[in-house]
Amino acid sequence: MSLITLENLSVRYGGQTVLRDVNLAIAPGEIVTIVGPNGSGKTSLLRAIIGATRPATGRVTHQKGLKIGYVPQKLHIDPTLPMTVERFLRLPGGFPRADCAAALDQAEVPDLSKQQMTSLSGGQFQRVLLARALINRPDVLLLDEATQGLDQPGSAAFYRRIAQVRAQTGCAVLMISHELHVVMSASDRVICLNGHVCCEGTPEIVSSAPEYRALFGTGTGGALALYRHEHDHAHDANCAHEHETEKAAE
Amino acid sequence: MLDDFMIRATLAGIGVAFAAAPLGSFVVWRRMAYFGDATAHAAILGVALSLAFQMSIFAGTMAVSLVMALTVTMLTGRGYAMDTLLGVLAHSALAFGLVAVSFLSGVRIDLMAYLFGDILSVSRGDLAVIWGGAALVVVLIGWRWSSLLTATLSDDLAYASGINPKREQLILTLSLAITVAVAIKVVGVLLIAAMLIIPAAAARPMSRSPEMMAVMAAVIGAVAAITGLRAAYVFDTPAGPSIVCVAALIFLGSSLLSGRRGVS
């Protein structure tokens, strides 16, 4: 039984259709990466899954009792709001302190619990968001461009961490990547979204060939992989595939 | 004890300070200051309607404040710039209220009492309404505290935790309407927003947690009420504005102290 099932999902914002007829199922323990150009509906898809956006048509079904860990794309905390990392992690359920420590350990930022949220660096903030998503031992982790603002070694470390978390806890991962071709190598499936599901496949593990080294640099520890798109259809003029041209150049 | 008007006034001021503290903290965190202003200004229209239909001022102001707050909430994100929208609504509500009051030829009302409060004339009945309303606000916000905080951080984070941020917004809207209705007698419609924002803002530099900020805001509000009333008695100044002046001085002191310590 799938954890999350989307059936013919369409989402509209003020007359504009951002997603149409999306069918998708997330199985327990799998890592699914969604790529797609800006405005392709990636965030809308996640928001529909967490219930923040009502589908125009179609259905979103959660497995009974599904626990979701959600890492938002960005989070602005007003500087007038005093809040320690520990307090932030324990919202809203009042999780025990021991769970906070465990979640911070899992996110590899064990010493931050007494810090104020507004004093964290960008990278620390991202890890704390991850810790918050992990605290309720979720069945599925939803990550919206979680590596935004991190450099390549930083993203690679973050992806390795996600892969380890999956290995340790067995939770499924659905993540949005802001890159079209470079994805987490541990992804079981990559889905290219552009208003609808354009293509779907597995990532190509990066070999040690020099051209890949040039692309990824060294020291990513095999965390990154390539996704080559296979599109068998063309969009109409107002919805062109950004990477169509790149494919031609390959 | 309640026979003394100063004691009744002090208790009324403390009651308003207690309701305003947790609500005011959310007003500051969510940047709703102008929203509080609009709701409060609409209350003068509520006063006019209450007098016209001979119902209780409390019920009338609460109803109109609630309608105002709901209207603003509904119009949010419909393509208007928020500060423009609130500016239009706040000031036109005040203007319509003042015009409506002038139509009430049969009743003689002291408009100043509603604009700036008339805390020295608080009766035992008023005191019961103020403390009842304040208790209701504290219980409402206390009950939803964690959900309100989560929704304040981010709507999407709230949805992912199974919280509907729109419902939490409604709790704040309702609390705001109650607070306006109970505070109108104490500080008047023009200064209600001050009682919401100034104690909470003054409490910020001394607080390391949201709970502490709300409690400190209550303490600061109560101190301002007690000291302000005392000052009004000694210097023969208007009571409501005196309370706000003391709160503003505490804010100034708190900001200067935290600035010197280098804490933001």
How high is the pLDDT of residue B261? 58
Burial class for A75, CB neighbours closer than 10 Å (0-12, 13-18, 19+): middle
Higher pLDDT, B116 or B263: B116
CA distance B174 to chain A (A): 21
Top-ranked range on mean pLDDT: pick from A81-95, B31-45, B80-94, B234-248: B234-248
CATH class (in words) of the domain with range B5-190: mainly alpha
For residue A162, give the nearest of A125, A190, A201, A133 by alpha carbon.
A133
On whether residue A12 sits in a domain, the answer given is: yes
Q: What mean pLDDT do residues B179-193 have?
A: 87
On whether residue A54 sits in a domain, the answer given is: yes
CB of B174 closer than 8 Å to CB of B140: yes
Full 3-state SS string of chain B: CCCCHHHHHHHHHHHHHHHHHHHHHHHHHCCCHHHHHHHHHHHHHHHHHHHHCCCCHHHHHHHHHHHHHHHHHHHCCCCCCHHHHHHHHHHHHHHHHHHHHHHCCCCCCCHHHHHHCCHHHCCHHHHHHHHHHHHHHHHHHHHCHHHHHHHHHCHHHHHHCCCCHHHHHHHHHHHHHHHHHHHCCCCCCCCHHHHHHHHHHHHHHHCCCHHHHHHHHHHHHHHHHHHHHHHHHHHCCCHHHHHHHHHHHHHHHHHHHHHHHCCC
Which residues of chain A have a CB within 8 Å of the CB of B147?
92
pLDDT of B187 > 60? The answer is yes
Separation between Cα atoms, residue B7 and residue B77, nearest integer Å: 45
- Dihedral pair phi/psi, residue A45, rounded to 5°: -65, -45
CB of A13 less than 8 A from some CB of B: no
Buried b / exposed e over B78-89, threshold 16 CB at 10 Å, is eeeeeeebbeeb
Quick check: A79 and B264 CB within 8 A?
yes
CB of A98 closer than 8 Å to CB of A130: no
Lowest mean pLDDT among B15-24, B51-60, B151-160, B232-241: B51-60
Structure tokens at B117: 């409060």
For residue A94, give the nearest of B214, B161, B160 by alpha carbon.
B161
Query: 131-160 in A: which are within 8 Å (CB) of B?
Result: 142
Show the domain range for A52: 4-67+138-249
Matching residue, tokens 């450099």: A151
Nearest residue of A to residue B146, measured between CA atoms = A92
On whether residue A206 sits in a domain, the answer given is: yes
Q: What mean pLDDT do residues B100-113 have?
A: 75
Q: Quick one: what percent of chain A has pLDDT higher than 70? A: 84
Separation between Cα atoms, residue B200 and residue B26, nearest integer Å: 9
Chain A with chain B: Cβ pairs closer than 8 A? 67
- pLDDT, tens digit, for every residue of A6-15? 999 999 987 8
Helix axes B165-183, B57-75, angle to 10 degrees: 150
pLDDT of B124 > 80? The answer is yes
**Summary mean pLDDT of chain A:** 82
Cα separation values, A15 from A10, A11, A18, A19, A240, Å: 12, 10, 9, 12, 20
On whether residue A76 sits in a domain, the answer given is: no
CB of A205 less than 8 A from some CB of B: no
DSSP 8-class letter at A171: -
The residue among B159, B171, B213 with the most chain A CBs within 10 A of its CB, best to mutate, is B159
Quick check: A50 and B160 CB within 8 A?
yes
The residue among A62, A73, A76, A81 with the most chain B CBs within 10 A of its CB, best to mutate, is A81
Q: What's A55's domain CATH number?
A: 3.40.50.300
Quick check: B153 and A82 CB within 8 A?
no
Domain ranges within chain B, ordered by starting residue: 5-190
Handedness of CA B65, B68, B72, B74 (dihedral sign): positive
Quick check: B156 and A80 CB within 8 A?
no
pLDDT of B256 > 50? The answer is yes
What confidence tier does A27 reach under pLDDT thresholds 50, 70, 90? very high
Question: Which residues have a Cβ under 8 Å from the Cβ of A188 and sit 6 or more positions away?
Answer: A30, A31, A32, A202
On whether residue A131 sits in a domain, the answer given is: no
CB of B237 closer than 8 Å to CB of B117: no
Separation between Cα atoms, residue B187 and residue B130, nearest integer Å: 12
User: Which pairing describes strands A197-201 and A189-193: parallel, antiparallel, or unpaired?
Assistant: antiparallel
How high is the pLDDT of residue A237? 45
Residue A31's beta-bridge partner residues? A173
What confidence tier does B127 reach under pLDDT thresholds 50, 70, 90? very high
Quick check: A72 and B28 CB within 8 A?
no
Q: Please state the ipTM of this predicted complex.
A: 0.82
pLDDT of A238 > 50? The answer is no
Quick check: A72 and B210 CB within 8 A?
no
Q: What mean pLDDT do residues A6-30 have?
A: 90
What confidence tier does A207 reach under pLDDT thresholds 50, 70, 90? low
**How many domains, in total, are found in chain A?**
1
- Number of C-beta neighbours around residue B262 at 10 A: 6
Separation between Cα atoms, residue A247 and residue A201, nearest integer Å: 16
Separation between Cα atoms, residue B15 and residue A243, nearest integer Å: 63
What confidence tier does B108 reach under pLDDT thresholds 50, 70, 90? low
How high is the pLDDT of residue A250? 39
Quick check: B209 and A83 CB within 8 A?
yes
Q: What mean pLDDT do residues A28-39 have?
A: 88
On whether residue A83 sits in a domain, the answer given is: no
CB of A80 less than 8 A from some CB of B: yes
Buried b / exposed e over B206-228, threshold 16 CB at 10 Å, is bbeebeebbbbbbbbbbbbbbbb
Nearest residue of B to residue A115, measured between CA atoms = B208
Give SS3 for A155: helix
pLDDT of A244 > 50? The answer is no
**Summary mean pLDDT of chain B:** 88
pLDDT of A26 > 80? The answer is yes
Which residues of chain B have a CB within 8 Å of the CB of A68?
160
CB of A206 less than 8 A from some CB of B: no
How high is the pLDDT of residue A240? 45
- pLDDT, tens digit, for every residue of A42-93? 889 999 999 988 899 999 999 888 899 999 888 888 999 999 999 999 888 7
For residue A181, give the nearest of A173, A172, A190, A189 by alpha carbon.
A190
Asked whether the bond before A92 is cis by omega within 30 degrees of 0, the reply is: yes
How high is the pLDDT of residue A247? 42
Give SS3 for A1: coil
pLDDT of B169 > 80? The answer is yes
How high is the pLDDT of residue B229? 93
Lowest mean pLDDT among A157-161, B78-82, B206-210: B78-82
Of B31, B159, B208, the CB nearest to A78: B31
How high is the pLDDT of residue B21? 95
pLDDT of A192 > 80? The answer is yes
CA distance A97 to chain B (A): 16
Amino acid at the residue A207: S
On whether residue A81 sits in a domain, the answer given is: no
Separation between Cα atoms, residue A127 and residue A133, nearest integer Å: 10
Higher pLDDT, A80 or A214: A80
For residue B193, give the nearest of B18, B14, B33 by alpha carbon.
B33
How high is the pLDDT of residue B72? 81
pLDDT of A248 > 50? The answer is no
Separation between Cα atoms, residue A177 and residue A187, nearest integer Å: 11
Which residues of chain B have a CB within 8 Å of the CB of A116?
208
Quick check: A75 and B157 CB within 8 A?
yes
Q: Quick one: what percent of chain A has pLDDT higher than 90? A: 26
Separation between Cα atoms, residue B34 and residue B69, nearest integer Å: 11
Separation between Cα atoms, residue B100 and residue B210, nearest integer Å: 41
CB of B114 closer than 8 Å to CB of B47: yes
Lowest mean pLDDT among A44-53, A176-185, B147-156: A176-185
Lowest mean pLDDT among A73-77, A168-172, A220-224, B146-150: A220-224
- pLDDT, tens digit, for every residue of A216-235? 666 666 777 777 776 666 66
On whether residue A82 sits in a domain, the answer given is: no
Separation between Cα atoms, residue A229 and residue A214, nearest integer Å: 20
Lowest mean pLDDT among A168-172, B88-92, B234-238: B88-92
How high is the pLDDT of residue A204? 73
The residue among B31, B156, B166 with the most chain A CBs within 10 A of its CB, best to mutate, is B156
Cα separation values, B249 from B123, B165, B176, Å: 29, 35, 25
Nearest residue of B to residue A93, measured between CA atoms = B146
Separation between Cα atoms, residue B263 and residue A172, nearest integer Å: 42
What confidence tier does A214 reach under pLDDT thresholds 50, 70, 90? low
Per DSSP, helices labelled H in A61-194 are 85-90, 97-106, 122-134, 152-169
